[in-house]
Each structure stands twice: as structure tokens, then as C-alpha cells.
């Protein structure tokens, strides 16, 4: 069954909003001016942050990968109290399912976009003041982003969201 990305984005809009908030948050932390933000819209792209070019290559790396860190962490935190009752199928409340909807939606939008990868690549790889270690680090990060984008055609973003929201809390609970 094929469902267009726009429809998925509309259903999982909380993840889009958090993704763009994460970009904006990292811009602020890095002292990069933000010109315009669209947290969510129904057209393509679903959201965006337009900012000045970062002065340091590390700032571009942080701004580009920020949503992966923020969305993953927030999805896990939101889901943790709801995952265990829902996994038992008898103790889950309506509120638990709402929390899991938000957590899975947020987790699904953790992967940076190809535009994020492109911005990082052009700033870091072609930057004249970029240290070699950062260029070396950029190659697997960009590959990871592109694989994530390709994987979204096979529902990898949903698998990741469910793993962060349900699988990881269950693994941690079972470890203790």
C-alpha cells in the first residue's frame, strides 16, 4: 500500500513542528539569525527554517542534525510512561494512546531531510576553513541521511518512530 508523503506529513504534523523547532533551537544556540520559519504547511515542504549562513562549519552540522537529536529524545521522553501500559494491552488508557501518537509522530520526523544534507555538504565539504576531521565525519552523516530518505519509501521512518516510542522503553524496562 502506497500513501503519499504529504498525507503522512499531515497526519504526523506534530513531528514536523518539532523538527522545525529543533532547527530553530540549534540556530539560536549557535548564534545564527533566523529569517523565516514555517512550522507546518500542507504543501511541500511541510516546514522550513530560513537562516543566515553559519559562520562556523560545526554550527551547520549542529543545525542540520539537531532534529535527529531533539526529535529522538523528545519522542522517547513522551512515550516512556505510556509504552508499558499500552504494551500490556490491558492497562493502556486513551491518554496513553494519545501520548504514543505524539511520540511516534515526533520520532518519524527525526531524520534530517535531503535539503538538510545538501546544506551541510555544501557548507562543510566546500568550506575553506573546515577541519579535515569534520569532512570525514560528514561523509557517514550524509550517507545516513540519504539512507534514511531512501528508507522512508519502505516505512523506515515509521519503524524508527515505533522503535523509539515503544521498543526502546520496553527494552529499558525489561533490562531492569
Distance of CA 10 to the CA centre of its chain: 16
pLDDT at 11: 92
pLDDT, mean of residues 105-120: 92
Summarize pLDDT for 43-93 with one digit per residue, the tens.
Answer: 889 999 999 999 999 999 999 999 999 999 999 999 999 998 888 767 788
Let me know: does 26 contact 35? Beta carbons within 8 Å.
Answer: no
Specify the higher pLDDT residue, 55 or 21. Answer: 21
Above 70 in pLDDT, residue 141? yes
CA nearest 54: which of 79, 82, 26?
Answer: 26
DSSP string, 3-70: --HHHHHHHTHHHHHHHHHHHHHHHHHTTPPEEEEE---SSSSS-EEEEPPPSSHHHHHHHHHHHHHH
Per-residue confidence (pLDDT) for residue 174, from 0 to 100: 86
3 pLDDT above the threshold of 70: no
Q: What is the pLDDT of residue 63?
A: 96
Task: Say which range, 3-17, 20-34, 62-76, has the weakest mean pLDDT.
Answer: 3-17
Bridge partner residues of 51 (DSSP): 34
Which residue bears the cell 533551537?
25
pLDDT at 164: 96
Count CB atoms within 10 A of the CB of residue 52.
11
Amino acid at each position: 500500500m502506497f500513501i503519499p508523503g504529504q498525507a503522512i506529513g499531515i497526519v504526523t504534523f506534530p513531528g514536523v513542528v518539532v523538527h522545525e523547532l529543533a532547527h530553530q533551537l540549534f540556530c539560536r544556540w549557535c548564534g545564527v539569525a533566523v529569517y523565516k520559519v514555517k512550522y507546518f504547511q500542507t504543501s511541500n515542504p511541510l516546514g522550513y527554517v530560513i537562516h543566515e549562513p553559519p559562520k562556523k562549519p560545526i554550527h551547520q552540522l549542529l543545525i542540520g542534525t539537531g532534529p535527529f537529536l531533539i526529535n529522538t529524545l523528545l519522542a522517547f521522553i513522551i512515550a516512556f510512561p505510556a509504552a508499558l501500559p499500552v504494551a500490556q494491552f490491558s492497562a493502556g488508557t486513551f491518554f496513553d494512546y494519545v501520548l504514543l501518537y505524539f511520540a511516534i509522530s515526533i520520532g518519524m520526523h527525526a531524520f534530517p531531510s535531503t535539503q538538510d544534507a545538501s546544506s551541510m555538504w555544501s557548507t562543510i565539504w566546500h568550506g575553506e576553513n573546515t577541519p579535515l576531521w569534520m569532512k570525514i565525519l560528514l561523509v557517514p552523516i550524509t550517507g545516513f541521511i540519504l539512507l534514511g530518505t531512501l528508507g522512508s519509501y519502505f516505512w523506515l521512518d515509521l519503524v524508527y518512530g515505533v522503535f523509539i516510542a515503544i521498543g526502546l522503553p520496553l527494552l529499558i524496562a525489561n533490562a531492569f
